[in-house]
Amino acid sequence: MLKLLRFEFRRIIKSVFFWIITAYSFVMPVLTAFIYRALITLDLDDGIKFTAVNLSKDELTFLTWMIAVSFITDLPKFVALFTCLHLGRDYTDGIVRNKIIAGHSRGAIYGSYMITQMAASVFLCCIYMFSALFGLVISGIGAYLNGGEMFVRFGVAIIVFLVMTVAFVVLALIFRRRALPLILCILIAVMSNGVGAVIGSFNTPSKAVDDYIRIRHEKYEEMIEAGLIDEDTVEDLEDKYDKDSYLGVAWKLFHPVYVVSPIGFEGDYQAGGVTNLVSGAAEYTDEIDFSVNFIMQAMYSGDVSPVTPHDLKKVDSMHLSYAKNNLIYIGKSVAWMAVIGTWGFLVFRKKNLF
């Protein structure tokens, strides 16, 4: 196994494409930092001028996170391409055959590919992340890592990224035709951004909806007692804005996917870059606050809900700390890596691929 690892690491080090991606991982976040520097300090009041950077700590924390974690949306397509071309070459050039003939077990060969590709992914993510921090600092914006806590979330992001890498490796190894895994991997990489954001938006737990409806009912009761609303109106409103109106068909479809997979990372961790800025979810918080969903929905619907954010503040189901969510994502990611990796191994071992 060690010989194969040495072999594969040498191949990666000698790969021109790998170093191109590495260069991209270094340049892109630095460039992004400078673009943000220009955007947030651009003053067009009197010609084109740039003012001094004046960000609050919260804004700086979010910007640091947003730019540095962008590897999770930016790198998958490159890693997919690299994995398929790099491992594909071993098939087309017959090197996998060489390894088997030399006497290496298929398990060792599979393991060496998996380990080295995962290591390459971690390396690229780290380059991207540290380049982002470097770029933020040299662009004059500065960086704030929330007392180092942000590194834990970077770690979670890398582990989620590794699930994709494992999937790419498996796809690259189980098909004899070389074009198919390439298409599939690129498709996964490109779609992961959008799908991640969509799936992540269905993160509201069922219990939170139950609690919201219960609290809303208590509030309506108080309003009825105070003579502010009559019982029939409340009944109509509660019928119209029942649990199903909050958790529709899409929720029923996508929430299970969200629960069992790490696909919702982008939504949960606001790792969607500019998407988050546009959607207004531009905060680096200590917890995921589901109550926002209810307040927002009430605001944009006919639900004249008397529930305020304050009422939901101490409801457990409305909040999920990132400390807990980190563990959930690590658990889900490790489980998926094990499932995908084991399935890939079984196919690789049995299928006549060489």
Partner 1 sequence: MTENKDYVIKVNEVSKDYGKFRALDSMSFTVPKGSIYGLVGRNGAGKTTIMRVISGLQKPTSGTVEYGFDHKKLGKVGALVELPSIYSNQTARENLVFQYINLGLKIDGSIEESLNLVGLGNTGKKKAGKFSLGMRQRLGIAMAMSGNPEVLILDEPINGLDPQGIIQIRDLLIRLNREKGVTIIISSHILSELSKLATDFAFVEGGKVVKEIKAESLEDAGGLVTEFYSGTPERLIPVLNAKGLTTTFDPQSGIVFAKGYYNLTNVVIAANEAGVNIARVVTKETDLETYFVKLVGGGSNA
Instruction: Provide the binding-site residues for partner 1, judged by CB under 8 A.
Output: 3-4, 6-7, 10-11, 14, 89, 93-95, 97-104, 352, 354
- β-pair partners for 288: 320
Q: Measured from the CB atom, is 112 or 333 closer to partner 1?
A: 112
Could you say which DSSP state residue 94 is in?
T
The least CB distance from residue 14 to partner 1, in Å, is 8
Two tokens, residue 38: 């220009």
H-run or E-run covering 301: none
Burial class (CB in 10 A: 0-12, 13-18, 19+), 52: exposed
Q: Measured from the CB atom, is 93 or 236 closer to partner 1?
A: 93
Q: Measured from the CB atom, is 11 or 178 closer to partner 1?
A: 11
The least CB distance from residue 176 to partner 1, in Å, is 13
The least CB distance from residue 96 to partner 1, in Å, is 8
User: How, if at all, do strands 49-50 and 42-43 pair?
Assistant: antiparallel
The least CB distance from residue 17 to partner 1, in Å, is 11
Q: Measuring CA to CA, how many Å separate 12 from each of 82, 115, 194?
A: 10, 12, 30
Q: Measured from the CB atom, is 96 or 163 closer to partner 1?
A: 96
User: How, if at all, do strands 287-289 and 319-321 pair?
Assistant: antiparallel
Q: Measuring CA to CA, how many Å separate 273 from each of 18, 67, 296?
A: 24, 7, 22
Q: Measured from the CB atom, is 86 or 255 closer to partner 1?
A: 86
The least CB distance from residue 98 to partner 1, in Å, is 4
CA nearest to 339, candidates 233, 264, 262, 268: 262
Number of alpha carbons in the 13 Å side-chain half-sphere of residue 6: 3
Q: Measured from the CB atom, is 11 or 77 closer to partner 1?
A: 11
The least CB distance from residue 9 to partner 1, in Å, is 10
